[in-house]
Amino acid sequence: MIRKSRLYFLQKPVLSVLAGLFVFASASPLLAATNPSIPTLQIGYVNTTHHIPLVVALERGVEFESAGVYFKPLLAKQKYELYAEGRKLANIDIILNKSGSETATMFAMKRLDVALASITAIMSGIDRGGEVKILCPLHVDGMSLVVPEDSAVTTWEAFLAQVKTSKRPVAIGYHSPTSAPKIILESVLTQAGLQVTENPNNATANVLLVDLKSTSNFIPALTGRQVDGVVAPAPFPEVIQLKGVGKIVTDLRDLPPHGAWHNFPCCVLAAREEVLTANPEPLGKLVELMAASTVWCNGHPDEVAAITEKWMGTPAEAVKMSTIVYTVEPSTNWMQGVETYLTMLNRLKSFSGKLVGKSLEQVEPLLFEFKYIPNSEH
């Protein structure tokens, strides 16, 4: 009779356990081996209402299936799968970034494949040598001039009157030198023949622009009387007004000349060029999903407000007050806004590489890849 070794009997339960683990891993989408033909894309975003089209698509998940493309959630706010026409196209890792500048840095380090960020942050990264393409806009508008609650200023005309009669420069705060609100205000004031400065020692200027460094400093600057007002992107004007700290004087899209500041660019969807080259279908479908999400967001303000409050803690009431418009279409006004950025950032010497001294026509091939936008004119 053949004796079976003791090792044989020990191996049986071990093999059973290993088999069980294999079955468990195969059944678990988080533990299963990644199909090498399906890419894993690292997508970055910032906790801001500007990036709500992505957040809504993640939150609603398979409810976007009727659009032909959707996210399937695996682990909330972290891991998803991208599907189109019933086929899995990509594994998705969601990464929360602190700012657009951090996003540009992570692009350069190849720690992000796709991201949502301000167009100025992406432009600055491309100027420094980043091989990144802007795939589509995400939103426009939603920026305001805000003054303290007890200010006598209630209209743009009243603000101009204050600026022209004040014995000292009227101080207006902004959160970033390359932010859309700051660039719009400075352009409008300059066109009106007013002198604008960022030098606190220039007592002859009409307006002193003050860099507050962060959106978190809007309220302290207003309550502490460090500034006479701020220009801010949504949802900060609405939050300031809800808290009783300040009041909205005007939406910046309504500043003169009439219509010039409508559809002004802010945040965009961008991707590294090598990722785009290697994964054109998943990236193209992601743009389609953002297009579907922007349409849904514009048509469902109450639901968007609830999702925003859930994800970011922004009061739903403030979100519903916002004038932000979600869109992936680079309209004529949007492109003119890009040209305004290019001119202003060159004037400020913010560029030192690819974009120095360039015209919009010259930089379009460096900045944009719009072919995935559904029904786009571009």
What domains are there in the chain, each with its CATH number? 40-141+264-367 (3.40.190.10), 143-254 (3.40.190.10)
CA separation for the pair 156, 153 (Å, rounded) = 8
Evaluate the CA torsion angle 326, 330, 331, 337 in order and state its sign: positive
CB 78 within 8 A of CB 93: yes
Predicted confidence at residue 177, as pLDDT, reads 85
CB atoms within 10 A of CB 218: 24
This prediction has a pTM of 0.85
CB 373 within 8 A of CB 136: yes
Predicted confidence at residue 26, as pLDDT, reads 39
Q: Running along the chain, 378 residues long, what does each successive block of 10 average in pLDDT?
A: 41 43 40 68 95 98 97 98 96 94 94 96 94 97 96 97 97 91 93 95 97 94 97 95 97 93 95 97 98 98 97 95 96 95 89 95 96 83
Give the residues across from 40 on adjacent strands.
91
CB atoms within 10 A of CB 126: 23
For the chain, percent of residues with pLDDT exceeding 90 = 83
